[in-house]
Structure 1
Amino acid sequence: MDKKPLVVIVGPTAVGKTKLSIDLAKALNGEIVSADSMQIYRYMDIGTAKPTPEERQGIPHHMIDVIDPDQEFSVAEYQRLATKAIDDIHRRNKLPIVVGGTGLYIKSLLYPMNFTDASYDPELRKQLQHEAEVMGKEYLHKKLQAVDPKTAARLHPNDVRRVIRALEVYHLTGKPMSEYNQELEKMGYRYNVAMIGLTMDRAKLYERINQRVDQMIQKGLLCEVKRLLDKGYTRDMISMQGLGYKELIDYFQGKISLEEAIYVLKRETRRYAKRQLTWFRAQKDIEWINVDELESYQALVEQCLAYIKEKLNINFQNHLLNS
């Protein structure tokens, strides 16, 4: 049975994935499936750089505004809902375009990963959570470094939930999570995939990140965070630990000045972009495009369309004529 087609657009934050994916969807009769671990939350729009209804230009977007900020959400749940959306897009003879910077979300769609049988140890989780609170997040991260340096390298110490999960996998199986990832990559993709990675000069990317943070502040990020706090959402929730939220909560709680909060947000976003690049650089089958090396944005769109058409071996001619 032939595998169904799937386009995937990856890359660091602020590199231009959203605009490109919308233009590709318009040209290819596609719909977009977000692979962003923050855009799943309702009421969190500015800080997550969600495309506005105007920016979406009528292109359906899936896996955005899925849950409230106080709800739990796992990779397994993302895989289930996003796969369902992809199947529905295929049934309507449209092309699904997965776009985002959350590597594990994307990997859960590409490979036949089975999360339903994943073992867990609630007592161990409680113990590790207690260690993080008493000894500090860095202490827990160093424990992971000792048994699974590859996974530790891609996880930030603040990402306590995933650090705990990686330690739990090692404790239960005796094998580091990175080994499971290597085994997964030996399997074939579940779709016929055309995967494009966007990159650009590091200094230019960092400047774009700084500008984006300034724009978020201008658009009302402070008001957005204040509304979330007024609704009763708190800093200890996973959603509120996202970039742009935890920094401004510290400001509202009087721990730092607004100037310091913005400085920290820019710095942490730049570090996050660097980790994203490291993650995606280690993945196979990505067609990397340096947007700085192209003469125009239109040239980028045309190069992506040509690659997708060739890689998926599908006749998009009718749609391309209208692009």
Structure 2
Amino acid sequence: KKIDSAGAEIIDTKNKRRLVRAIEVAFKRPFFRETKNAPEYDILKLGIKVEKQELEKRINKRVDQMIKMGLEKEVNKLSSRSKILETIGYREWKEYKGNEEIKERIKINTFKFAKRQITWFKKDKSINWIKSYSEAKKFIKKNKFD
């Protein structure tokens, strides 16, 4: 209110996204910044490498299970909450007709999202990539994190 009293009068205080953006605009910089301090604890980051075919297989299985367990019913029940329907698995029910087309769109969109996540995580040089639980155990012992 002290920085931008006019903006404070019209902002929806219950909308966290708009509040954060208003603060960023008022201060002319991002509100949430990474701290430059050294971490308080030793942190071990492990990422699990999964081949694309295996990832796609797991996603397909998960989507089939979600639909079998009543995703369509859940979407219809939650349709009054507009933000929820913007997420993968929900928005496809609005955009497509026919269960097979919807199921395929959910699988494709989930796989694309997973690929973007993997790309993003690969940029983090502090992540140690492993292929299995046993490899993780060996890595932890070798690096004295146990």
State whether TM-score is above 0.5.
yes
- Name the counterpart of 2:27: 173
- Name the counterpart of 1:260: 101
Q: Per-residue CA shift, 1:157-215, capped at 9, x if unaligned?
A: xxxx76x577545413323569x33xx3x432233322111122334423432332123
Q: 2:29 is matched by which residue type in structure 1?
A: K
Task: Quote how far apart the aligned CAs of 1:310 are.
Answer: 4.0
- Name the counterpart of 1:275: 116
Cα contact 1:196–1:304 (8 A) shared by 2: yes
**Whole-angstrom CA distance in 2 between matches of 1:274 and 1:124:** 39
Pick from 79, 87, 90 the counterpart of residue 245 of structure 1: 90
State the TM-score, normalizing by the size of structure 2: 0.68
- Name the counterpart of 1:80: none
**Whole-angstrom CA distance in 1 between matches of 2:116 and 2:19:** 19
Q: Per-residue CA shift, 1:63-102, capped at 9, x if unaligned?
A: xxxxxxxxxxxxxxxxxxxxxxxxxxxxxxxxxxxxxxxx
Pick from 68, 71, 74 the counterpart of residue 221 of structure 1: 71
1:120-269 pair list within 5 angstroms: 167-168=21-22, 170-176=24-30, 180-181=33-34, 184=35, 186-226=36-76, 228-229=77-78, 234-237=80-83, 239-248=84-93, 250=94, 256-269=97-110
The verdict on how the C-alpha distance between 1:234 and 1:219 changes in structure 2, with shifts beyond 3 A counting, is same
State the TM-score, normalizing by the size of structure 1: 0.35
The verdict on how the C-alpha distance between 1:210 and 1:240 changes in structure 2, with shifts beyond 3 A counting, is same
**Whole-angstrom CA distance in 1 between matches of 2:51 and 2:9:** 46
Structure of higher CA gyration radius: 2
Task: Quote how far apart the aligned CAs of 1:279 are.
Answer: 2.5
Q: Per-residue CA shift, 1:214-238, capped at 9, x if unaligned?
A: 2322233223334x34xxx62413x
Q: Which runs of 5+ in 1 are unaligned?
A: 1-120, 130-160, 292-299, 315-323
Q: Percent identity?
A: 30
The verdict on how the C-alpha distance between 1:124 and 1:190 changes in structure 2, with shifts beyond 3 A counting, is farther
The verdict on how the C-alpha distance between 1:196 and 1:256 changes in structure 2, with shifts beyond 3 A counting, is same
Q: 1:285 is matched by which residue type in structure 2?
A: S
Number of equivalent positions: 138
Cα contact 1:192–1:312 (8 A) shared by 2: no
More strand by share: 1
**Whole-angstrom CA distance in 2 between matches of 1:262 and 1:167:** 35
CA RMSD of aligned residues (A): 3.4
Q: Per-residue CA shift, 1:121-147, capped at 9, x if unaligned?
A: 656866xx9xxxxxxxxxxxxxxxxxx
Pick from 103, 114, 126 the counterpart of residue 285 of structure 1: 126
**Whole-angstrom CA distance in 1 between matches of 2:124 and 2:19:** 21
SS at 2:97's partner residue? coil
SS at 2:44's partner residue? strand
